[in-house]
């Protein structure tokens, strides 16, 4: 396993980190399976585990807490807040009121007195940066979090938050967690350069593109990835963007085969090759999935292989831009781009 420094924190983390979104109802992973996955991940050199209060309505955090009981100090523990927790209007977002409450809930479910990294799951346009940063700074001073970061922020919001931290003399985000894969390379155009500019640690989610790069999606085969169960539109090959992804996957499979690599090794080796990336978050549902992903832990792709990937999916290109989660609100809500 390779280890890298998480931004400017000085914390050493594994190049592959364990994402726990599949623990619980999303991946239908049981507690015994989750514990086995955590056991094998730690044995394989993984030392960062990432979850969120939103995953399974808190069930993922509960399962992670049980799995790491008795070995808290062996884990760099990260969680997130901001996405809805139930139907109550105020149980979401980046306000001080909600973040203080949300963190207490996360600590209780995880069975710990602090988390190492607390991340804002999505930018909240209803809350000023200084409001969120002030709350996070106070939570850090109280010893309940060690560092805080952002997740899936557009590049301009990362810059704005860094400016607000300096302007108001507050703590700043130490990390960013963007979506990034061979098939979704838009982060290379803006987010990753901004993260490098500000010295942020970068934890990449969905490096296997929801299973498209795991070997589970191939021409002429039935789709077997779990994500197709609740996101069928993303695997409907009659959709033009999905046809483009499938064509790219077939060509990438050829590159992987010629290099003596699995598709998973190619995909994870690609994202961890970017100098801005600290860790790639893997989200196995079973111990078998974990083993196939840990096989990429020490993969270093040659320049020829990276060039071949660039020839299939151009740098900075998203093959399915409609699937991104950092679209500015004004592009989604017509009322925000029309004068009243």
Q: What is the DSSP string of 145-177?
A: EEEEEEES--HHHHHHHHHHHHHTT-----EEE
- Crossing angle of helices 240-259 and 263-273, in 10° steps, is 100
DSSP state of 29: B
The answer to whether position 245 is within a domain reads: yes
**What's the whole-number mean pLDDT along residues 286-295?**
95
Q: Which residues pair with 175 in a beta bridge?
A: 149, 201
Number of folded domains that form the chain: 1
Q: What is the pLDDT of residue 335?
A: 87
Q: What is the pLDDT of residue 322?
A: 85
Q: Is 55 considered catalytic here?
A: yes
Helices (H), 45-154: 59-67, 96-110, 129-141
Backbone φ, ψ for residue 73 (5° rounding): -70, -10
pLDDT digits (tens, 9 = 90+) for 121-172: 999 999 999 999 999 999 999 999 999 999 999 999 999 999 999 999 999 9
Annotated active-site residue in 55, 118, 180, 198: 55
Tokens 């046809």 correspond to what residue? 243
Q: If pLDDT is split at 50, 70 and 90, which confidence band does 268 have?
A: very high
The answer to whether position 267 is within a domain reads: yes
Q: What is the pTM of this model?
A: 0.94
CB 202 within 8 A of CB 281: no
| Res 266 pLDDT > 80 | yes
- Of 47-51, 86-90, 182-186, 273-277, the poorest mean pLDDT is in 86-90
Q: Which of 107, 121, 115 is CA-nearest to residue 62?
A: 107
pLDDT digits (tens, 9 = 90+) for 4-36: 999 999 999 999 999 999 999 989 999 999 999
The answer to whether position 340 is within a domain reads: no
- Of 223-227, 295-299, 328-332, the poorest mean pLDDT is in 223-227
Which residues form the domain of 115? 3-335
Q: What CATH number did the domain enclosing 257 receive?
A: 3.20.20.100
Q: If pLDDT is split at 50, 70 and 90, which confidence band does 237 have?
A: confident
Q: Which residues pair with 3 in a beta bridge?
A: 14
How big is the chain, counted in residues? 340
The answer to whether position 168 is within a domain reads: yes
């Amino acid at each position: 396993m390779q280890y890298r420094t998480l931004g400017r924190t000085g914390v050493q983390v594994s190049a592959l980190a364990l994402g726990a979104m599949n623990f619980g109802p999303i991946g239908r992973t049981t507690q015994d399976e989750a514990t086995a996955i955590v056991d094998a991940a730690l044995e394989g050199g993984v030392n960062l585990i990432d979850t969120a209060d939103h995953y399974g309505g808190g069930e993922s955090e509960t399962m992670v807490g049980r799995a790491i009981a008795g070995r808290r100090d062996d884990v760099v523990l990260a969680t997130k807040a901001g996405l809805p927790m139930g139907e109550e209007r105020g149980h979401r977002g980046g306000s001080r009121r909600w973040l203080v409450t949300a963190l207490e809930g996360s600590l209780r479910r995880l069975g710990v007195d602090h988390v190492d990294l607390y991340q804002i799951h999505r930018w909240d346009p209803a809350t000023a940066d200084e409001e969120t940063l002030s709350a996070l700074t106070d939570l850090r001073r109280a010893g309940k979090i060690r560092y805080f970061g952002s997740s899936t922020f557009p590049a301009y919001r990362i810059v704005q938050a860094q400016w607000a931290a300096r302007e108001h003399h507050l703590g700043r985000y130490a990390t960013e967690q963007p979506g990034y894969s061979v098939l979704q390379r838009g982060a290379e155009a803006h987010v990753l350069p901004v993260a490098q500019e500000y010295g942020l640690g970068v934890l990449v989610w969905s490096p296997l593109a929801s299973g498209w790069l795991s070997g589970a999606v191939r021409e002429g085969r039935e789709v077997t990835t779990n994500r197709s169960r609740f996101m069928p539109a993303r695997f409907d090959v009659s959709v033009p963007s999905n046809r483009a992804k499938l064509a790219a996957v077939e060509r990438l499979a050829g590159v992987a085969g010629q290099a003596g690599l699995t598709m998973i090794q190619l995909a994870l080796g690609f994202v961890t090759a970017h100098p801005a990336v600290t860790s790639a978050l893997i989200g196995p549902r079973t111990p078998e999935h974990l083993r196939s992903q840990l096989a990429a832990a020490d993969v270093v792709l040659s320049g020829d292989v990276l060039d071949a990937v660039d020839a299939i999916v151009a740098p900075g290109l998203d093959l399915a831009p409609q699937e991104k989660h950092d679209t500015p609100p004004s592009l989604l809500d017509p009322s925000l781009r029309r004068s009243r």
